[in-house]
C-alpha cells in the first residue's frame, strides 16, 4: 500500500442515524480464496462468478499470475482462469506474506507439480494460528515438509490416499487436504474435517470438476483420487455467511429495517444461535431476511436466570468471525452476557476501544469478556486491528452518538466489498479520507 493510500486509510462516521433498505451479500471471501487455489488442479479453463471485489481476492489473483496462470476478467465478479502452465519457482514471496490464504496453494501445488516453497502466511494478528494440521495432513499422503531458510518447502513424488484424523477441525487445513486428495492416488478419508459453508462450496466446485467426494457438510469426508488432473468448470461463489451475520448485528443495533436478500437457508439457524441470545429476532421471507432495528434488545438468560454465554464453535456452531460483532450487539442489549472466544487469544483485545466509546465491558482474560448493557456509545477515534474487529468498530460507530474516526480501514475492506457505498445506500454517513490522527 503506497503513501497516498495510507493517508486516506480512515473512515469518518456520523453515528446515531437509523439504517433502512436492502443489502445483497457479496460472494464469500472464505470460499473464493480456496476455490481460486483449486483452479491449479486442472489445466483447463475455469470460470468463476460472484467473486468479491476485495483486497485479499486481488492479492490471490496476483499470486496465481506469478505462477504463470492466465487470468482474464469479464465484468464485475467474473474471471476466466487457465492454469495450463505452472512455474512454482516463480511465486511472489511478498504477496504470499500479504494474506493467510497463500497457505492454500500448498496442497494443489505439491499435488500437481511435486514441489513448492512458501513463506509463512500473513493475515490478521488475532493470536496464534498454527499450521501443523496442514503439514500433518500432507505428510500423511506422502509429502515431505521442511524449512529452508524462512520458507516452508513441500515436496512429493506422488501423493497416496489414506485415512487420517485431523488434529483439529481447521477450515483451511481441511481445504488443503481435500484439494491434495483430489490428485492423490486412491481413497482419502478425513475425520474431524471442518464443514463450514465455504468448505462445502469448495467441495461442490471440485465435484463439478470431476472429483469424487462424499460426506460434504459432515466431519467425515471421503475423496477418491485417480492421480490425474481434474476438468475445467463454471462455478458461482456462495454468498458470504460472515458478511450476512455482520449485517444482521449491524442492522439490529442501528434502527430502521434492513432486508438482506439471497440468504442461504442453511446458514440462518447457526448464525442466529448466538445472536438470538442477545435478543435479535429476524423474519424470513423466502430467501430474504428482515431485521427490525427498532426492536428493543434483551439478553435471554439461561434457565434459572443465569447469565448466558455466547461462544464460538466449529460449524454449525456460532462462527468465531462473528464474536466481535456479538460484543457490540451485547453493548446495546438489556442485561449481562458473557462472550467466550475460544479459538483466538487476541481477537477480543479490541474491546478497550469499545470501553473508550462508553461500553460497559470487563475483560476477564484473553478469551472472555462480560458485557452489561445497554450502553450509550459516543464517537471517538479508534484503529481497526483486523477485519472482523474493524467491522465491529464500524457497527459501534454507526450506533454511537457523534463522530468517530476509524483508522486502518483497509483491514475492513479486506473482507467487506464496497462497504462505504453499500451502507451509504441505507442512510449511513461514512466518508473515506485522511481524517484524524493515525
Backbone angles phi, psi at 386, to 5 degrees: -160, 180
Q: Please check whether residue 436 is in contact with residue 10, taking contact to mean a CB–CB distance below 8 angstroms.
A: yes
Return the half-sphere exposure (C-beta side, CA atoms, 13 A cut-off) of residue 286.
Answer: 5
Instruction: Specify the pairing of strand 309-311 against strand 335-340.
Output: parallel
Alpha carbon of 97 to those of 5, 68, 88, 91, 437: distances in Å? 19, 19, 16, 11, 27
**Residue 124 catalytic?**
yes
Q: From residue 173, give the alpha-carbon distance in Å to each of 70, 240, 252.
A: 26, 20, 34
CA 16 to chain centre: 28
Positive or negative: CA dihedral 364, 368, 374, 377: positive
**Active-site residue, selected from the candidate residues 9, 56, 124, 312:** 124
Cβ atoms < 10 Å from Cβ of 262: 14
Q: How many CB atoms lie within 10 A of CB 165?
A: 11
Residue 235's nearest CA partner among 264, 267, 206 is 206
- The residues annotated as belonging to the active site are 124
Amino acid at each position: 500500500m503506497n503513501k497516498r493510500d495510507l493517508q486516506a486509510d480512515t473512515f469518518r462516521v456520523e453515528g446515531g442515524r437509523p439504517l433502512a433498505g436492502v443489502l445483497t451479500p457479496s460472494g464469500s471471501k472464505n470460499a473464493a480464496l480456496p476455490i481460486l487455489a483449486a483452479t491449479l488442479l486442472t489445466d483447463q479453463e475455469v470460470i468463476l462468478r460472484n467473486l468479491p471485489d476485495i483486497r485479499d481476492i486481488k492479492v490471490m489473483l496476483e499470486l496465481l499470475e506469478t505462477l504463470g496462470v492466465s487470468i482474464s476478467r469479464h465484468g464485475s465478479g467474473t474471471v476466466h482462469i487457465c492454469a495450463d502452465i505452472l512455474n512454482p519457482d516463480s511465486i511472489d514471496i511478498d504477496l504470499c506474506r500479504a494474506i493467510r490464504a497463500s497457505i492454500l496453494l500448498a496442497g494443489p501445488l505439491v499435488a500437481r507439480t511435486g514441489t513448492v516453497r512458501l513463506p509463512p502466511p500473513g493475515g490478521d494478528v488475532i493470536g496464534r494460528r498454527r499450521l501443523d494440521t496442514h503439514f500433518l495432513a500432507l505428510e500423511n499422503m506422502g509429502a515431505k515438509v521442511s524449512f529452508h531458510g524462512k520458507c516452508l518447502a513441500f515436496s512429493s513424488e506422488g501423493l497416496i490416499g489414506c485415512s487420517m484424523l485431523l488434529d483439529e477441525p481447521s477450515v483451511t487445513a481441511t481445504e488443503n487436504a481435500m484439494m491434495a486428495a483430489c490428485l492423490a492416488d486412491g481413497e482419502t478419508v478425513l475425520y474431524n474435517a471442518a464443514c463450514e459453508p465455504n468448505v462445502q462450496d469448495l467441495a461442490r466446485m471440485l465435484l463439478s470438476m470431476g472429483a469424487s467426494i462424499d460426506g460434504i457438510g459432515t466431519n467425515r469426508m471421503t475423496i477418491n483420487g485417480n492421480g490425474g488432473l481434474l476438468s475445467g468448470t463454471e462455478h458461482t461463489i456462495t454468498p458470504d455467511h460472515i458478511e450476512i451475520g455482520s449485517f444482521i448485528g449491524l442492522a439490529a443495533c442501528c434502527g430502521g429495517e434492513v432486508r438482506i436478500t439471497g440468504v442461504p437457508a442453511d446458514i440462518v439457524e447457526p448464525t442466529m444461535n448466538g445472536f438470538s441470545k442477545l435478543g435479535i429476532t429476524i423474519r424470513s421471507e423466502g430467501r430474504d431476511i428482515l431485521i427490525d432495528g427498532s426492536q428493543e434488545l434483551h439478553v435471554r438468560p439461561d434457565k434459572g436466570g443465569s447469565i448466558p454465554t455466547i461462544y464460538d464453535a466449529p460449524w454449525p456452531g456460532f462462527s468465531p468471525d462473528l464474536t466481535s460483532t456479538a460484543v457490540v450487539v451485547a453493548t446495546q442489549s438489556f442485561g449481562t452476557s458473557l462472550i467466550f472466544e475460544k479459538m483466538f487469544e487476541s481477537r477480543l483485545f479490541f474491546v478497550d476501544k469499545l470501553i473508550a466509546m462508553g461500553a460497559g465491558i470487563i475483560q476477564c482474560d484473553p478469551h472472555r469478556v462480560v458485557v452489561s448493557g445497554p450502553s450509550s456509545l459516543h464517537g471517538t477515534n479508534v484503529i481497526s486491528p483486523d477485519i472482523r474487529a474493524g467491522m465491529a468498530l464500524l457497527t459501534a460507530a454507526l450506533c454511537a452518538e457523534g463522530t468517530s474516526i476509524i483508522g486502518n480501514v483497509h483491514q475492513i475492506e479486506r473482507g467487506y466489498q464496497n462497504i462505504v457505498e453499500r451502507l451509504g445506500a441505507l442512510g449511513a454517513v461514512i466518508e473515506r479520507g485522511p481524517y484524524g490522527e493515525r
